[in-house]
Amino acid sequence: MQFQDKVVLVTGAAGGIGAGTAAAFAREGAKVMLADIDADQGGQRVAEVEAAGGQAAFRRCDVSKSEDMRALVEETIARFGRLDILHNNAGISGGTDFTADISEDDWDRVIAINLKGVWLGLKYAIPPMLEQGGGVIVNTASALALTVLPGSAHYNATKHAVAGLTKTAATEYARHSIRINAVCPGVIRTAMLQNAPNLAELEPRLLALHPAGRLGEVEEVVNAVLWLASDGASFMHGSLMTVDGGWTAA
């Protein structure tokens, strides 16, 4: 119960990595606020946490909207009294078009959710953490914060930017006992991946990216996020922790 009585906010918590971290924090004693655009799945995740004996709540949130993110942080604090940990996780993939073929609408949407959404999380979580004397933020970046994949220019751009944002904010607030790091997953077996219509064709190409010879599992990323949020990572500021089966090391 290493997070006993800590208050944790997880964005993108209706499924995948976010749902995994929310459940894991709750198992470790935290009070968890889940946020996502998908209210039906988000409510189901809360029910699962509560059925397992944890404490959780849900708020529908579009992370690209300032008013949504401000209200989310305010409700978290009003409900649970403080905010100790933010897993700034919400993001989308954006498709596979090459750079010149990406529509302006697709470009703007990916930038708004993957980059602006992370910045808004920092913007509204940091002030209450400053007031209470510290906190922890873990951003979800990607292996594509450290390398590139053709057909993902807008996604690549956002994840490189999240890496830079993580490092900048970490250096700005380290002296205030706020630790800010990022986890950089490779390709992870989420429900979204498993339901991809072209998975049989796509999977061999994805496997070839990972020297480990397999794709990652959600719990492997969850373990990294929880460790970055724990006291065991107390001297880590601005780190980009890869959980990518050796992809970016090759």
- In three-state secondary structure terms, 180 is strand
Q: Which of 119, 155, 173, 247 is catalytic?
A: 155
Low-confidence ranges of the chain (pLDDT < 50): none
201: how many CB neighbours lie within 10 A of its CB? 9
Q: In sequence order, which residues have a C-beta less than 8 Å from that of residue 32 and are 6 or more positions away? A: 7, 8, 9, 10, 22, 25, 26, 49, 54, 55, 56, 57
Does the annotation mark 124 as catalytic?
no
Q: What is the pLDDT of residue 198?
A: 77
Single out the residue of 160, 157, 208 nearest to residue 187, CA to CA.
208
Predicted local distance difference test score (pLDDT) of residue 4: 96
Q: How far is CA 115 from the centre of its chain?
A: 11
Q: Residue 228: what residue type?
A: L
R_g of the chain computed on alpha carbons: 17
> What confidence tens digit (pLDDT) does each residue in 197-217 have?
677 888 899 999 999 999 999
**Pair of tokens at residue 225:** 């996020």
Domain ranges in the chain?
Answer: 7-242
- Quick: pLDDT tens for 52-69: 999 999 999 999 999 999
Under CATH, which architecture does the 7-242 domain have?
Answer: 3-Layer(aba) Sandwich (3.40)
> What does the pLDDT read at residue 29?
97
